Amino acid sequence: MPNRLIINLCLVTSLLLLAVLLLDRWVSWKTAPYIYDNLPQLPARQVGVVLGTAKYYRNGVINHYYHYRIQGALNAYNSDRVKYLLLSGDNRQQNYNEPITMRRDLLTAGVPPANIVLDYAGFRTLDSIVRTQKVFDTNDFTIITQRFHCERALFIALHLGIRAQCYAVPSPKNMMTIRAREIFARLGAIVDLYLLKREPRFLGPLLPISSMHNVPADAQDYPAVSLKQLLELNQPVVTEQ
């Protein structure tokens, strides 16, 4: 009897693992037509959404995922593939601000402040994609990130009827751990979309990007989320991943 129980548990575990792997492949297959690796082939869009990540690892080493996303954003902007860069990332901690960090580097590289828009409430990929549509009033945009992340972001967009495409920037070598984590991140996205039907943690008022072009040269940011709202988001209720 114990042996049969162990065999059944192994069988169930194997089937669940197979299902997870098949779902991972399904996400890749479904989104493949909307991903572009070659910049000259990327159709022009008004808005390029740069998905945030930390600039440095905890040991102070540069995060090449960040580096490639910023370089990809610059390439897309300078090639007139996008007109505005919407920088969407996390800003829940006082000493950690993905959008501001990205903005600083893009300004240094010569992108005018009037063409940079900040979204401080891009806590998750789902938040970033949905807020681009519902807060920044665009339903047809280019996502800028690595291919594996493109696939999950596009899967969310396609499920919600958003006409997005993705410019896949290079990935660092030796990303096996990241790719393994991505499998379960995709499973979480499927659960969020099909079972939990999750919404972004924060939406807020409509802020069309096309109306934001008149910005002073010394402008600090586009506060899509006010300081008061950010403090409210920092309360203990914001503990889910």
Give the separation between CA 117 and CA 103, rounded to whole angstroms: 8
| Beta-ladder partners of 47 | 84
Q: CATH assignment of 34-233, given 1.25.40, 3.40.50, 3.30.70, 2.60.40?
A: 3.40.50
Give the separation between CA 139 and CA 20, rounded to whole angstroms: 30
User: In degrees to the nearest 10, what's the CA dihedral of 198, 135, 86, 162?
Assistant: 60
Mean pLDDT of the chain: 86
Give the separation between CA 188 and CA 119, rounded to whole angstroms: 23
- Taking only the tens place, the pLDDT of each residue in 110-125 is 999 989 999 988 999 9
Q: Where are the domains of the chain?
A: 34-233
Strand order in the sheet with 116-119: 35-36, 165-169, 142-146, 47-51, 84-88, 116-119
Residue 225: pLDDT band (50, 70, 90) is low
Degrees, nearest 5: CA angle 135-127-118? 55
pLDDT at 238 over 50: no
pLDDT at 207: 85
Task: Kindly report the backbone phi and psi dihedral angles of residue 14, in degrees, each rounded to the nearest multiple of 5, phi listed first.
Answer: -65, -40
- Residue 208: count of CB within 10 angstroms of its CB: 10
Helix (H) or strand (E) holding 176: helix 176-190
Q: Which of 184, 175, 139, 222 is nearest to 21 (CA)?
A: 184
Q: How many alpha carbons fall within 13 Å on the CB side of residue 27?
A: 26
